[in-house]
Chain A
């Protein structure tokens, strides 16, 4: 439904407090007395045995409360559970061995951060360095140093999948096109870093932790298990304002456990705020991935089969929710195309880099880089236009809901129309003419296309595709995407909404107020939304939190359902008092009215008052008060089948990008002339927030395309530990962006909404690579690794100068 409030570009209710300095972030909190402060001692080695940790000097410094080392961790915790069958032992602090630079080896707790940092300098660690490995392909070899001796290999997870008749598709193909692509390790860099305040109550063995963790709350069970307590003995509280995350703050969970142990050992509440260098060095990041891709192609450009071997580098330890990056896009591996045959080999490998986790786009950018590049390469090989090859293979509008070979259910879409809009807006045909003219003048301009499916609202079950069907059968099946919300009305009519979606800047308070206002026939300003998360009191479930663009398809619907429960209750009270059947009643402007006889009405205030002040006047059997919680899931989020198919996400949006660039072949600089992006995310709940999300996602994708990479040298030393070495796009790097929308409603969600905000993070790296490859096609340059830095590109340009001459001759003929 859409109406008076849903779908309107309401200004964000969060912004007045944020822009006036009244936001409440983790570092603003002092929830308990006697808070002490932590500093972390970190490993300078990528791979080393720890012979001894000497803490005496630090411990004896004035103001130091205690030092936590691997000995304490091994005694007080157990390794974090992880969803692979290999028994990888991951603790929040190194036990006996370090496996990446920046890995915590000791924590100092002191009366203030200054003392803690000074004491950290006095900790002496006796390391015995071991050979390190950082490269994916090297780590897979038998000669490579092994990180985890108990496993004997660096492979943490490996699976094979075969859908359809891929062998036949390749046998019958006119052409097979194959290539290897490398996707870089990059990060998300929110303005606010990790922050934790941990308190331990010895009398009942309970931990209470305030942090800017935003889920998934599956990780609450992972943390409780590591702390060896039942889940209700670990209370997690998240302040209402989190200074951005883009996924990375889900990776704070080891620090929640680490600081909990620090608080327990020292007997004081412990606060730790991560600094920027720690964040870049040792928080989390996306995976770097090598993909070998092969496409079986007919001469007309039809792709009949795909083979992919993809290897994700999960760093020193595989940790939850990895290897999910490999599988998040499993059910949309064939992208926006009708490709019935698919073979995949998926591998998660451990190397001496920082462990990985959620990052906006999670798996999408790694998948679409090879997939959308190969589509362009197919076109070039067959001497067809890339737009034509895409059009030929796009899933047609009348094929929805479309089932992919790996089990994805694309709920709705109109891909052809979206691509058409992108091509028209970009002036595709004219650009080709301009391009030829420019080349004649020695200018290299190009246009790139990408059509991607944007999965949103993750099915909890997809992660278990990492296990074989036999392994899965040994435990309870996992499915769904459960989320909760509570709508309550107090005795004086104040409407409150409690959400568990833990927004990190996406405006969930605003949209929740719009939805509740719509359902209850009031104004959004009358609805107060409480976004603080508290696992002791919030209506939450396993999938709660903010990730996989799940507020649009799921969180919003939990709110919607809870509001409907309240609406129904109010209507039932009115039915009782007016003596008119419920179906003839409606709510408008704060009143229940009889449809067609609007003079017969009761104010909501009176109905609410009845529920609280005069329960006797309620219908028989009705409970007093107004306090309704609803939990929402989607039935298409089913557990994986025995044939290894799974619908990994409940809704599937679509993005068609057309991007034009100019490459300066003297310097290797890439200038984006125009970025056209067409989105279909079903019903837009708030178009203002939607466009903000799209711009943010695009900036992150732009970083992946041109700037961002967490670089390591061959010995595992990280060499991009500050913003001088790790480049992030800022507002001045943002190109001109044209956003267009179409709204093909989702049939699986009551509001018809799908998730968005990750789409361009997934599409921008490849569409820019396609545009640059198009511009430099005369030089024979084809991008197969990212980011496209000027130095890298300039080197390729130098190497290909000869080819240029020949090609120009050919073009002129």
Chain B
């Protein structure tokens, strides 16, 4: 399963880049995220609670950020495991400055699932993935809009 998309976020590249890796913002904006802590640089532990079709469950996830080219690009890897199975996803994020001072974020992702999520949730999966990702960026945008403009 894979997909891609883009969204305009308020603020400059540097600001957006930093915000996107703040544990507080991530926890706030990630659907079903109960807890998210930074355990070392560019590595987080998260408790996620996500329902896909009839499969509701908790996942303990490790989120790693790699290939960082500040403030243009990074890769985010999510490895979640729980009773309903596992979810492994990888996203590539690219930021570019827009003339209006805002930032364009472009992303592509691939994801695979296993266990019960796959066996009874497969039909819903790509829809759910889109939903979760769109929701994340929408919330992020709102969150960034709330922040006082720097510069």
Interface residues of A (CB under 8 A from B): 42-46, 101-102, 120-121, 277, 280-281, 713, 715, 717-722, 724-725
Task: From A120, A280, A717, A720, give the contact of B114 (CB < 8 A).
Answer: A717
Set of chain B residues within 8 Å of A121, measured between Cβ atoms: 83
Question: In the complex the two chains form, what is the Cα distance from A438 to B86 in whole Å?
Answer: 52
Q: Which residue of A has the minimal Cβ distance to B115?
A: A44
Q: Which residues of B contact A (CB under 8 A)?
A: 54, 83, 85-86, 112-116, 118-120, 122-123
Interface centre among B85, B113, B115 (most CB of A within 10 A): B115
Report how far A102 CA is from B119 CA in the complex, Å. Answer: 10
Which residues of chain A are within 8 angstroms of B86 by Cβ–Cβ distance? Answer: 44-45
Please indicate the chain B residues that have their CB under 8 angstroms from the CB of A46 in the complex: 114
Residues of A close to B115: CB separation below 8 A: 42-45, 101, 717
A121-B83, A717-B114 are known contacts. Are A281 and B123 too (CB-CB below 8 A)? no
Mostly, the A contact residues are loop
Do the beta carbons of B118 and A722 come within 8 Å of each other?
Answer: no
A721 touching B116 in the complex, CB below 8 Å, given contacts A44-B86, A121-B83: yes
Contacts of B85 in A (CB 8 A): 44
Do B120 and A44 have beta carbons less than 8 Å apart? no
Question: Considering the complex of A and B, which 9 residue pairs feature the smallest CB-CB distances, nearest first?
Answer: A721-B119, A44-B115, A717-B118, A44-B85, A44-B114, A719-B122, A721-B120, A722-B120, A121-B83
B116 touches A717 (CB 8 A): no
Per the bound structure, the CA–CA distance linking A42 and B116 in Å amounts to 10
Assess the A722–B119 pair: CB atoms within 8 A.
yes
Q: Which residues of B contact A720 (CB under 8 A)?
A: 119
Q: Residue of A at shortest CB range from B118?
A: A717
Point out the residues of chain B lying under 8 angstroms from A725, CB to CB. Answer: 119-120, 122-123
Contact yes or no, A713 B120, CB < 8 A: no
Chain B residues with Cβ below 8 Å from A718 are 118-119
Contacts of B118 in A (CB 8 A): 44, 101, 713, 717-719, 721
**B120 to A: closest C-beta gap in Å:** 4
* A281/B119 contact (C-beta < 8 A), A101-B114, A722-B54 known: yes
Give Cα A44–Cα B83 distance, bound, in whole angstroms.
Answer: 9
Q: Quick check: B119 and A277 within 8 Å, CB to CB?
A: yes
- Whether B123 contacts A45 by the Cβ 8 Å rule is no
Contact of B120 among A42, A43, A120, A724 (CB under 8 A): A724
Choose among B54, B83, B119, B122 the residue that contacts A120 (Cβ–Cβ < 8 A): B83
Check B119–A719 contact: CB distance below 8 A.
Answer: yes
B35 CB to closest chain A CB (Å) equals: 17
- Which residue in A45, A715, A717 is a CB contact (below 8 Å) of B119? A717
Q: A44-B86, A101-B118 are in contact. List 18 more A-B contacts (CB 8 A).
A: A42-B115, A43-B115, A45-B86, A101-B119, A280-B119, A281-B119, A713-B122, A717-B122, A718-B118, A718-B119, A721-B118, A721-B119, A722-B54, A722-B119, A722-B120, A724-B123, A725-B119, A725-B123
Closest Cβ of chain B: how far from A635's Cβ, in Å?
A: 48
Q: How far is the CB of B48 from chain A (nearest CB, A)?
A: 15
Can you show 15 pairs from A to B with CB atoms below 8 A apart? Answer: A44-B114, A44-B116, A44-B118, A45-B114, A45-B115, A46-B114, A101-B119, A102-B119, A277-B119, A715-B112, A715-B114, A719-B118, A721-B116, A725-B119, A725-B123
**With A and B bound together, what is the CA distance between A718 and B120 in angstroms?**
8
Residues on A with beta carbons closer than 8 Å to the beta carbon of B119: 101-102, 277, 280-281, 717-722, 725
List B contacts of A719 (CB < 8 A). Answer: 118-119, 122
Q: Chain B contacts of A42 at CB under 8 A?
A: 115
- Compute how far the CA of A214 lies from the CA of B115 in the bound complex, rounded to whole angstroms: 30
- Assembly CA distance A715 to B54 (angstroms): 22
Give Cα A782–Cα B73 distance, bound, in whole angstroms: 51
Distance, CA A120 to CA B84, complexed state (A): 11
A281 to B113, alpha carbons, bound, how many Å?
Answer: 15
The CA of A754 and the CA of B131, in the complex, are separated in Å by: 58
What is the bound-complex CA distance between A277 and B114, given in angstroms? 14
Most buried by A among B54, B112, B113, B119: B119
Residues of chain A within 8 A of B83, CB atoms compared? 120-121
CB B78 to nearest CB in A, in angstroms, measures 16
CA–CA, A55 and B113, complex, Å: 24
Chain A hits for B120, CB < 8 A: 277, 721-722, 724-725
A784 to B86, CA, bound (A): 35
- For the complex, give the distance between the alpha carbons of A643 and B113 in Å: 50
Please, which residues of chain A bring their CB within 8 A of the CB of B116? 44, 277, 721
Our pick among B54, B113, B123 for the contact of A717 (Cβ within 8 Å) is B113
Closest CB of chain B to A394's CB: distance in Å?
Answer: 44
Give every chain B residue within 8 A of A281 (Cβ-Cβ). 119
Query: What's the nearest-Cβ distance from chain A to residue B69, in Å?
Result: 29
Q: Which residue of B lies closest to A121 (CB)?
A: B83
Please, which residues of chain B bring their CB within 8 A of the CB of A277?
116, 119-120
CA distance A277 to B54 in the complex (A): 11
From residue A120, how far is it (CB to closest CB) to chain B in Å? Answer: 7
Q: Which residues of B contact A101 (CB under 8 A)?
A: 114-115, 118-119
